[in-house]
Amino acid sequence: MNKGLYWVTLTLGAGALLAQEVELTRRATPTGRGGDGKCTIEVDVDGAAEVEVSGDMGFLRTLAGQTAVWRRFECNGPLPRNPGEFRFRGIDGRGNVYLVRDPRSNKGRAVVRIEDRKGGREGYTFDLEWRGSSGVWREGNVTEPIVRGGAASPAARAIRVCQEAVVARIQREGYRYVNFESTAPDNNPGRDDWILGTVVAQRGRAATRLLFACSVDFRTGRVRSVDVRR
């Protein structure tokens, strides 16, 4: 067991414990400094979960199914607020693993979503790698922050359902690991119900950059259409 900080936050709703509201928080085990930055993360998931890394802290949230648990969280240094370069690399796991928030455009917070649709627990391992950092945070293309302790905004919900639709679409093409580079509402006149972005999808060792566009009903969160192309 990690000798660092490790605790559980339980949120009660309507007098009952909801599995999807469990958050396990853990401080990274240091592996030494020097060279480029890297964190290796391994978790057990049965359903769906999100891993958020900020500095040397990790937050594991169960979104559906059985409570996700930590196996390993090792870093050779804290994730900087604005890394000069950043890469997400999926290593192991039978389901979908994709980066939904890039720390360069999310105030130094990286968020990875895991979807395990088969029965029983499965171990998932991935790396976060970076090079350099800047003391000044640059505004990025992902405009909606992660919301804790409250309902997400209509734009944040639209971004999330669009990303889920994009993953489902490209999964049918045999891609497994997905890295969302940018996701944002279209700010052109008359396009306020569209979400646009770019994504890098990996099939085997080959990675492909794709453009996507979703038409979303911001009021209901329903995806009307999704288009993905090279």
Token pair recorded at residue 189? 């006149």
- CATH 3.10.450.630 domain residues, the chain: 146-230
Q: What is the pLDDT of residue 134?
A: 42
Beta strand 6-9 with 23-27 is antiparallel
Beta strand 206-217 with 194-203 is antiparallel
Q: Can you tell me the mean pLDDT for 82-95?
A: 88
User: Cβ distance 68 to 24 under 8 Å?
Assistant: yes
Q: What is the pLDDT of residue 2?
A: 43
Average pLDDT, the chain: 78
The set of residues, in sequence order, having a beta carbon less than 8 Å from that of 139 and lying 6+ positions away, is 105
Q: What is the pLDDT of residue 188?
A: 78
For the question of whether the overall pTM of this predicted structure is more than 0.75, the answer is no
In this predicted structure, the answer to whether residue 126 has a pLDDT above a threshold of 90 is yes
Token pair recorded at residue 144? 């909606």
Q: What is the pLDDT of residue 156?
A: 79
DSSP assignment of the chain: --SS-EEEE--EETTEE-GGG-EEEEEPEE----SSEEEEEEEEEEEEEEEEEEBTEEEEEEEEEEEEEEEEEEESSPBPSSEEEEEEEEEE-SSEEEEEE-GGGTTTEEEEEEE--SSS-EEEEEEEEEEEE-SSPPP-S--PPP--SSPPPHHHHHHHHHHHHHHHHHHTTT--EEEEEEEEE--STT-TTEEEEEEEEEETTEEEEEEEEEEEETTTTEEEEEEEE-
In this predicted structure, the answer to whether residue 118 has a pLDDT above a threshold of 70 is yes
Distance CA 68, CA 46 (A): 7
Q: What is the pLDDT of residue 17?
A: 35
pLDDT digits (tens, 9 = 90+) for 149-178: 344 578 878 888 898 888 888 878 887 677
For the ranges 55-69, 139-153, 163-177, 186-200, the maximum mean pLDDT occurs at: 55-69
What residue has token string 């038409």? 215
146-230 belongs to which CATH class?
alpha beta
